[in-house]
Amino acid sequence: MVTGALGQIGTDLVEELRKKYGNDNILATDIRKIEDNPGVENGPFEILSVIDSDSMDNMVKEYDIQAIYHLAAILSATGEEKPELCKKINVGGTVSVLETAKKNNLRVYAPSSIAVFGPDAPKTAPQITPLNPKTMYGKTKVIGENLANEYWHNYRVDTRGLRYPGLISWKSPAGGGTTDYAVEIFHAALEKGHYDCFVDSNTRLPMMYIDDAIRGTLELMEAPINEIGNSRSGYNISGLSFTAQQLADSIAEKIDGFTCNFIPDKRQIYADSWPDYIDDSQAKEDWKWKAQFNLEKIVDSMIEGLSD
Ligand code: NAD
Ligand code: SER
C-alpha cells in the first residue's frame, strides 16, 4: 500500500513498485481522486485519508497488504500556512500507519526530510546532531522519526525511512514545499522562457533527482535487516547541492534565452534554516548508498521528460 500515492514522489514510486512486484500487487491510495493523476491508473486505487485508521485497517485486510509506503503529508510551505492541519495529518497519519502495521504485522517505509535540521545544525548536516527545526513541518518529521523508532524498539515493527533532500521530478508537480522552485523553474523555462524564483540567487540546498530517491527507497527497503542500524527511521542521503543561481545558469546553457529573476518570499526563511550539504556516510556504510545524478544529468533528464 502506498499512501499519498498521487503526489510528487508517489507517482514515481508506484510506477517502480508496480514494475517490480506487478501492477495488481501495489495498492495506491490518496485523499484525492485518481482523475487528478492518471499516471497511477494501471493498478488498484482507493480513496483513503491517513487519519482514518479504521478504513486503513480494513483495506490492509481486504488487499492482504504486507508493507505500507507512507507518503501522505503536508509539506513545509503549506505546513507553515496551516500548522494545525500539518500536525494533524503528519503526526496523526504516521500514528495510524504505525498502529495498523503493529496490528497486522506489516513493514513500514515513512520518509523524513532535511527539514528535521534547524539553524543550529552544522551546514554539512551529520547523521547525528541536535534536531531543532524551525518549521512545523520539520517538527512533525522529527516526531515521525521518533515514533517509528519507538515502534521498532517496543513492538519490532520493521520501520525504515530516508531524510530526502529537495526532490526534482517531472511526472507530477511538487506539492507545497520550499524546494518546489527547483521543479517549477523547469516548467517555467520550457513554457515561458522565464522564471521568478522565490528564493535568493545564493540559496544553496541539498537536492536529489527522483530516480536516485526512488532507487534509494527500494534499496533501503530491500536491505537485510542486520544491515540497518540506529538511523533506520531517518537515514541522511545526499545527492548534490547547488545554489538557485547555479540551477538557473545550468538551465540557460540548455534553453536559449532563459532568464530568471530572484524575488524571495517567506519560503526564504525556511530555506535558510536548512543545511547546505548532507553527510550521508552512515547510509553508505550501512547499506551501500550512492547517488548517481549530477546537475547536468538532472537538467537534461528534466528537459527531456517535460518535452515528451
Ligand atoms: P506531495 O504533496 O506531492 O504528495 C502528498 C500526497 O498526500 C498528495 O497527493 C495529497 O493529496 C496526499 N494527502 C494529503 N493529505 C492526505 C490525507 N489526509 N490522507 C491521504 N493522503 C493525503 O508530497 P511528496 O513530495 O510526494 O512527499 C511525500 C513524502 O516525502 C512526504 O512525507 C514528504 O514529507 C516527504 N518528502 C518529500 C520531499 C520532496 O522534495 N518532495 C523532500 C523530503 C521529504
Ligand atoms: N521538499 C520538502 C519541502 O520543501 C522538504 O521536505 O517541504
CA 221 – CA 225 distance, rounded (Å): 9
**8 pocket-lining for ligand 1 (C-beta < 6 Å):** yes
Same domain, 78 and 170: no
Q: Indicate which residue's Cα is closest to atom 2 of ligand 2.
A: 177
Same domain, 140 and 49: yes
Which of 196, 225, 254 delimits the end of a domain?
225
Q: Indicate which residue's Cα is closest to atom 7 of ligand 2.
A: 177
Q: How far is the CA of 104 from the centre of ligand 2 (A)?
A: 30
Q: Are 164 and 113 in contact, with CB atoms under 8 Å apart?
A: yes
Q: What is the pLDDT of residues 206-228, one digit of tens each?
A: 999 999 999 999 999 999 999 99
The stretch 94-115 carries a mean pLDDT of 98
Strands ordered across the beta sheet of 204-209: 166-168, 204-209, 240-243
Q: Examine residue 300 and state whether it is found in any structural domain, yes or no.
A: yes
Q: What is the domain extent for residue 198?
A: 166-208+239-307
Counting ligands in written order, the one closest to the CA of 73 is 1
**217 pocket-lining for ligand 2 (C-beta < 6 Å):** no
Number of domains in the chain: 2
**275 pocket-lining for ligand 1 (C-beta < 6 Å):** no
Q: Examine residue 232 and state whether it is found in any structural domain, yes or no.
A: no
Q: Examine residue 233 and state whether it is found in any structural domain, yes or no.
A: no
Q: Examine residue 217 and state whether it is found in any structural domain, yes or no.
A: yes
**166 pocket-lining for ligand 1 (C-beta < 6 Å):** yes
Instruction: Show which residues are catalytic.
Output: 137
* pLDDT bucket at 135, cuts 50 / 70 / 90: very high
Q: What is the CATH number of the domain that holds 101?
A: 3.40.50.720
Please write down the HEC assignment for all residues of 171-227: CCCCCCCHHHHHHHHHHHHHHHCEEEECCCCCCEEEEEEHHHHHHHHHHHHHCCHHH
Chain-centre distance for alpha carbon 274: 15
Q: Are 178 and 267 in contact, with CB atoms under 8 Å apart?
A: yes
C-alpha cell, 140 = 512533525
Same domain, 217 and 72: yes
Atom of ligand 2 nearest to the CA of 179: 4
Q: Examine residue 231 and state whether it is found in any structural domain, yes or no.
A: no
**177 pocket-lining for ligand 2 (C-beta < 6 Å):** yes
Q: What is the pLDDT of residues 243-295, one digit of tens each?
A: 999 999 999 999 999 999 999 999 999 999 999 999 999 999 999 999 999 99
Q: Examine residue 230 and state whether it is found in any structural domain, yes or no.
A: no
Q: What is the pLDDT of residues 168-177, one digit of tens each?
A: 999 999 989 9
Same domain, 21 and 125: yes
Predicted pLDDT at 156: 98
